[in-house]
Structure 1
Amino acid sequence: MYGDWLTYREPFTELADLRKLLNWLRNLNEDSSPNICVFPGTGEHWFWSLKYSMQGEEGYTIWGDSLQSSSRNIDDITGIPFKQLVDKYRNGLLNSRFEIKDLSNAHPLIGLFYINGVGYVGFGLVTDINFDVYRNFRYWKESENRHWLVRWRIRVIWIDEVIRRILQYGEYNDEVNGELMKIHGELRLVKLLKMNNVNYVPQTNNCFRDENSRRIWEAIKSVLTEDEVNAMIRFYEQPLKATVKASLQPISDVNDVLEKIKERIKGTDEAILRRFIVGALLGNVMLIGPPGMGKTTLAELLARTVAGDDGYMIKTANALWFRRDVIGGETIENGTVKWISGFLIKAYNRAAERDRLFFLIIDELNRADADKAFGEFFTIFRSPNPSDWRMMNELVNEIENWGSKLDDESRRFLEYYRKYGDEPLRRLRVIAVMNLVDVRNLFLVGNALARRFQVIEIKCPQDATDVESLSSELRGELSDDEVSQVIDYVATLRKNSNISRRACISTGAVVNAINIIKEMKRMGVLNPNNLIVEFNEALKSSLGVIDHKLVSALDNALGNYLNKGRVGVSNDA
């Protein structure tokens, strides 16, 4: 905001660098420990004050007072109210001759950020105090008799992680207020100060006594770990960059997407397709159902339609997946141990490189052990809603700590994360595909994983409507009468309870079987009198099952059908 117009005086020049400022504060001796003051206020006022540090003046927040209380004394030198605060600020940085102290003797003034009804949410270094009648801070509500006239400008040192997440909201609203009211027990400063018997609930802007300030400083200094320093630096790098917003497909375009998908996907209920499209545009979706219903094809087709041919990647899960496959981790490459990226990091990079959605399709999800592979996935995707998605600080720090021993994807990830933060996550959509056949032989997908998705089931057809919708495309070498026979037979099989409880006569299996008999007819090896017999054999091979009871049930159904000479519905084996 101020560019080079306002610069630090000696000996404070290096404190323009947040890391050096933090190192100075961490290494202060007891005689130079900071004076601690508290600035209490409403959640809405603090939300906008901290937003100012992200969008107004990078790394600096402001706090103010209306001066309405008669108990606030006027400083006899500066003429500014809050004599105690001004004295501590002046005496901590100037000697008796009004000369600036050197860093080793300076006693900085630290302000604690306190949200009424929530607790201590962060702290910063008070850099200047202003008495300003001309200007108001636009997001602090004023009235005819209440004006915010005194402002403390504060270099932000640390903000609690849960508050950093809440600050990603664009506006202060009921949802933000609700989030604030729920986080008291999660706040690190609240826990630290309580452990040190500091239960002070401030009513006004005020300072602790010197002996209490030293004790409180020793407690709160423990949050200034290297990980938290890195997290704060990233936090203030990210908002000021040119963040690319997600080009979410407008809901008005859903019909256009639906029409394009219907051209390729036949036989699936239109209401299910519409629900899937809307769900995948707004968040993560899990498609479940029997094999052969075109779930993976549907996921890929949606991704191509919305995001283009380069707008998705497909990964097929397996039992050997670990955290390294999904997130990333250490590996040995050419005799060197290094950190390599999993497909989620790669998907983040692809999303960061685009101005549209990027889709990650995970096929056969339940073939992977969720506990081994998806632990951090749970944390990053904490709900189906993209606004809740956050990259883990611990993961970013882990990658950073590998230094030069990173693959190219990891290096790009760090570059993009410093630039865009969590924004690319919100352009990422995960579509998981899961078959319900043989679930007892595969890994269990529990509620913890399923809650990260909107679950949409594509059910097995109960009649032959799907095949009828494909009849014109299926003819080819077959006559209308032959296609009608096949449709009639499929309807019979699907109504047979002895078959339906063992397997789904899926659209994909039927289409594949029809293509087989079409090819047989083209080659001249299909006996038209044995059309349904040949179709039944082709269908058995297309279902991809080896259950002899199902094979027997299909053969019995075929016998009943042929004996009746027409549609003949039988529920018996």
Structure 2
Amino acid sequence: ILDYWVKNIEKLISEADFWTSAGSIEHWLNSIDYAFKNGGYTIWGQRLGIDSLKEFFEIELRGRRGRTGVQRPFIVNYVESKPLINIFYVRGKGVIGAGLVSHIVIDVHNLFWDEELKEGRVIYPLRWVMKVIWLHKSVRENPTDPRKWEGDHIDLFFRSGLQHVVKPEDVEKIRKFLLSKKDEIQVTLNTFSKEVYVLRKPVIEEMPSMPNIHEIIKKVTEELVIDEEVILLFITSLLAGRNVMLAGKPGTGKTMLAKMVSELLGFKPLIAVANAHWSRYDVIGGMVLKGGKPAWKSGWLIIALTEHLRSKHGGGRWRGAYLIIDEVNRADVDKAFGEFFTIFAGIDPSEWIIPESLIKEIRSYDERDSYGLDFLELADKYLEHIDGVGYRVPDDFRVICTLNYVDIRNLFILGEAFTRRFARILVNYPSDEDKELNVLFSKAEKEGFRKEIVQSFKEDIKEKLKKLINELRKIERLPFGPANVYSLIRIALTYKTLNPDKDNISILKKSLETSISLSTLWDEELKKGVERVINNVLGSA
């Protein structure tokens, strides 16, 4: 039926039921962007509280008396198979497009618009999917740059939200308008029917050659005991334009992996360790008192963006900067990352926008820290500005988060609204214990331990240590990653250097005590599990 109407545009225009949707440029930017990613289908919605939604269904479905809103004729006419045409109106611009309604849905689970992502709740639960039949030429040619959008004028009064066009004279105005756009309607439909539509420039303009990527992997595996496939996936995700979340048990090398890969790709790593007290002030920035007067102090994201622009355009060692947020789940995401949701609204770097409101906020302070001062200057000079919307985040800037999981009772839960902004990579314990020990003992030699002591100790205790590692890692709540193993090796080799006559098993036992998680001190069950493994592998003496 939809195809029939699209192939018979004049008949569609003459028989359609007309509706208008007025909204902000930010909302329409989300919807137009969606259309170009989804073959010409887009989404719009009606603001309804849950109580209003319940009331609507009480009235309509149970036949109870009460007032009904504009939703009733919209749904009834749709059910009766009337073609519904929705006119797209942008406040301050005019009419920018039109769509033929294909589906009406109630959706209380999926966040779509930036406003919903920022607040973490569905605001527009009554939604309709539309086949876009006409877009203004300026929108077709600049779908992600609303500062270049223009709109047409129709002599109607456009109110916010969904409105039914019922006056015959108003219906006739819309019909005449759409008939005058017949050629543009065909261009719009052809635009979306193309097999490939290039919406954005490539994210990576200069990707490192494959030999260089393998060289990076080689250098990382000389220092860290992480499977090569994990490292390759991490590098690939960064080069593909994704922010990345590295998740795994403590001690698996997540933070060092983030730091090393950042450096080897040529980006300065800035490491911030999250905690439960983090707020918007720590992530974005905010007001401090300086000499009794309000002043702007930058948070980690503004600091990292400033360092990125300084490095990228300063001609020094670095190509830019990456922000590494360590142990992100120690922060309350809802409290600290609200504007992060807005800035990194989607997974594609071309969707990342620093909002105009934040820039204005920083400018409003007479006193600013050095990062605030430099950020404004560098943003004006190097970042693309979308009038009324904000500044594009540089497409080679990345945020990398690490997430530890052992005892989730001590951590905040990260919701899907946050985690979907990242490529999620699991960093497990190494799959090859022989390789793990070879790397760690080799690392000890590089750090200055005498080769003969390292080799002698390794040959004597290697099989016992392998079994110990294997058994300890079976204890679910005990973190015992390569970092813990290396701590054990360093302490054991130091002990052996100072006490060469001491037997190696005793040294291994003593060193292990200093490398096990402190939680064994107060978790009796965990303590007994560790003691059982040690006695079974190393003996109880």
The residue that corresponds to 1:449 in the other structure is 418
Percent of aligned positions that are identical: 29
The residue that corresponds to 1:524 in the other structure is 499
The residue that corresponds to 1:280 in the other structure is 238
Q: TM-score, normalised by structure 1?
A: 0.55
Q: Which runs of 5+ in 1 are unaligned?
A: 1-42, 48-109, 120-153, 171-179, 181-188, 207-242, 566-573
SS in 2 for 1:351: helix
324 and 500 in structure 1: CA distance in 2 versus 1, 3 angstrom threshold: same
SS in 2 for 1:339: strand
Please tell me the residue identity of whatever aligns with 1:295.
Answer: K
CA contact (8 A) 1:248 1:357 kept: no
CA contact (8 A) 1:280 1:429 kept: yes
The residue that corresponds to 1:10 in the other structure is none
Alignment of 1:15-414 (within 5 A): 112=94, 114-117=96-99, 166-167=144-145, 192=160, 200-201=173-174, 202-203=177-178, 248-250=206-208, 252=210, 253-265=212-224, 267-281=225-239, 282-308=241-267, 311-355=268-312, 356-402=319-365, 404-414=366-376
Shift of 1:477: 4.8
Please tell me the residue identity of whatever aligns with 1:358.
Answer: A
The residue that corresponds to 2:532 in the other structure is 556
Please tell me the residue identity of whatever aligns with 1:467.
Answer: L
Residue 429 of structure 2 is aligned to residue 460 of structure 1? yes
Please tell me the residue identity of whatever aligns with 2:345.
Answer: R
Shift of 1:473: 4.3
Q: Which runs of 5+ in 2 are unaligned?
A: 1-31, 37-91, 102-136, 150-156, 182-200, 313-318, 385-390, 446-450
Please tell me the residue identity of whatever aligns with 1:434.
Answer: L
Shift of 1:401: 3.4
Note the alpha carbon deviations across 1:2-49, whole angstroms, 9 max, x for none: xxxxxxxxxxxxxxxxxxxxxxxxxxxxxxxxxxxxxxxxx99xx9xx
471 and 117 in structure 1: CA distance in 2 versus 1, 3 angstrom threshold: same
Query: How far apart, in 2, do the equivalents of 1:388 and 1:526 lie?
Result: 64
Query: How far apart, in 2, do the equivalents of 1:513 and 1:303 lie?
Result: 28
Query: How far apart, in 2, do the equivalents of 1:523 and 1:405 lie?
Result: 56
CA contact (8 A) 1:299 1:431 kept: yes
CA contact (8 A) 1:477 1:518 kept: no
Please tell me the residue identity of whatever aligns with 1:276.
Answer: F
SS in 1 for 2:453: coil
SS in 2 for 1:203: helix
472 and 319 in structure 1: CA distance in 2 versus 1, 3 angstrom threshold: closer
563 and 384 in structure 1: CA distance in 2 versus 1, 3 angstrom threshold: same
246 and 268 in structure 1: CA distance in 2 versus 1, 3 angstrom threshold: closer
Query: How far apart, in 2, do the equivalents of 1:539 and 1:415 lie?
Result: 53
CA contact (8 A) 2:472 2:533 kept: no
Higher alpha-carbon deviation: 553-562 or 381-390: 553-562
Higher alpha-carbon deviation: 332-341 or 416-425: 416-425
446 and 537 in structure 1: CA distance in 2 versus 1, 3 angstrom threshold: farther
Please tell me the residue identity of whatever aligns with 1:371.
Answer: D
Shift of 1:345: 1.2
Query: How far apart, in 2, do the equivalents of 1:247 and 1:364 lie?
Result: 31
Note the alpha carbon deviations across 1:91-141, whole angstroms, 9 max, x for none: xxxxxxxxxxxxxxxxxxx9945335399xxxxxxxxxxxxxxxxxxxxxx
Shift of 1:193: 9.0
CA contact (8 A) 1:369 1:443 kept: yes
The residue that corresponds to 1:60 in the other structure is none
112 and 289 in structure 1: CA distance in 2 versus 1, 3 angstrom threshold: closer
| Structure of higher CA gyration radius | 1
Shift of 1:297: 0.9
Please tell me the residue identity of whatever aligns with 1:418.
Answer: D
| Cα-Cα RMSD | 3.9
Note the alpha carbon deviations across 1:182-224, whole angstroms, 9 max, x for none: xxxxxxx965496696665322559xxxxxxxxxxxxxxxxxx
Shift of 1:424: 4.2
SS in 2 for 1:117: strand
